[in-house]
Amino acid sequence: MKKHNFSAGPAILPASVLKEAGKAAVNYEGMGLSLLELSHRGPEFTAIIEEANALMKEIIGLPDGYQVLWLSGGASTQFFMAPMNLLNSDETAAYVDTGTWANKAIKEAKGFGNVEVLASSKEKNYSFIPKGYKIPKTAKYLHLTSNNTIFGTQLHKFPKSPVPLVCDMSSDFLSRPFDPTQFGLIYAGAQKNLGPAGTTVVIVREDMLGSVQRYLPSMLDYRTFVAENSLYNTPPVFPIYVSMLTLRWIKKNGGLKGMQRRNKTKGAVLYQEIDRNPLFKGTTAVEDRSLMNVCFVMEEKYAALEKEFLKETEANGMVGLKGHRSVGGFRASIYNAMPKSSVQALADLMQDFAKRKG
C-alpha cells in the first residue's frame, strides 16, 4: 500500500533524494565505503559542504556579508544561542509570541538580556498571527517564528522593521521566496523541508556578531563556525549530505518560486475541502492559514466521529494526521516534498467520509 506521509517532523523527503542517500549510505561514489565512514576532513565531504553552502546562497539569493552555518542541537539550541551571541545583558530584544516554539524562545532569551513581548495570540490558543504592533527602534532585534507547526498559522508577510529580524524558520524554510536582507539571523531545523533530523541551518549577517561582552564557549560562538566553515568539530555529516541533495532537488524544481507554486496548489486543495465539507472546520484565522501545517477538527455535532475518521486515514496509508494535543483534531503537514496526489487523496477521503457519515 502506498504511504502518504503527513508527519510534522521528521518529515517527508523527496523520493529521489532518499534513493540517492540510500546508495551513499552503502557505497559513496563507488569508493567501496559508506559516506557514514568517511572523514569530515577529507576531500569528499569538503566538496559536499561547499556545494551545500553554494546552493543555499544561490537558492535564497544571499548577498555578500552572510554566512551559512551547519550546526547541531536543533532550533531549540538556537533559542538560547541567538540571544547569547547577539544580546548584551543591558540590551532589549523584541519578540512576538505566536505559539509553543516562540514561547520557548522567549523563555531562553530572558537569561541573556531584557525581553519585550510586543504581541501575543496566546489568549485565543494561538489561532492567529498578531499584527499592527509597534517595533521599538531601540530593540537589538525582533524575533519572529515564521510558521507554527502545532497551531497551523504562518506569517505570510514579514513586517518592515527598523531593527534586524531574527527568525525561526524551521517549518517553512525554503518553501517560498523571501528577502534575506531583512534578516540579521535565520535558523531552521532541517527536518521539515531540508533534510533529516540532526543538523540545523543558521544564516547570519556577519556584522551581527562580535558585539556582546560575555564569554562565549567555542561551541556556542557563531564566529567559531564561520571561521572553520562549520568544521570546528565533527559535523552531522549525513544530514548535511542529504540536505545538499534536497537543495539540488529544490533548484531542479524551480527554486523557491517553484516551491511556492507547489505549496499554494496543495494548500488550496485541502483548505477548499475543509471549507466545503460539512463535517470539518479549520482552527485558524483564514488569512493566517499555514501552507505547511493544515490544522482542522470535526464540527462539534460530528465530534464523536473523530477517532473513526483517523482510523480510516490510517487504513488508507495516511500517516501522521493526528493533531497536536494542544489543538486536537487533525494536522496534515504538506511540506515541499509532499506530492499533490497525497493531498488529493486526503481530500477525496474527507469527501467520501462526509457522504457516508454526514
What Cα–Cα distance (Å) separates residue 126 from each residue in 79, 103, 290, 321?
A: 19, 11, 13, 20
* 3 state SS of 277: coil
Q: Is the backbone of residue 320 left (phi > 0), alpha (psi -120 to 50) or beta?
A: left
Catalytic residue, chosen from 70, 97, 101, 288, is: 101
- Are the beta carbons of 244 and 174 closer than 8 angstroms? no
C-alpha span between 66 and 310 (Å, rounded): 45
Cell of 319: 500517516
- State yes or no: is 168 an active-site residue: yes
C-alpha span between 17 and 248 (Å, rounded): 9
Q: Which residues pair with 115 in a beta bridge?
A: 93
Half-sphere exposure in the Cβ direction for 266 (13 Å, CA): 27
- State yes or no: is 70 an active-site residue: no
What are the φ/ψ torsions at residue 332 (nearest 5 degrees)? -105, 110
C-alpha span between 178 and 195 (Å, rounded): 20
C-alpha span between 46 and 20 (Å, rounded): 18
C-alpha span between 253 and 264 (Å, rounded): 15
Catalytic residue, chosen from 97, 168, 172, 288, is: 168
Tell me the pairing of strands 183-189 and 165-168.
Answer: parallel
Catalytic residue, chosen from 192, 221, 266, 322, is: 192
What are the φ/ψ torsions at residue 34 (nearest 5 degrees)? -75, 145
Cell of 92: 532589549
Q: What are the catalytic residues?
A: 101, 168, 192
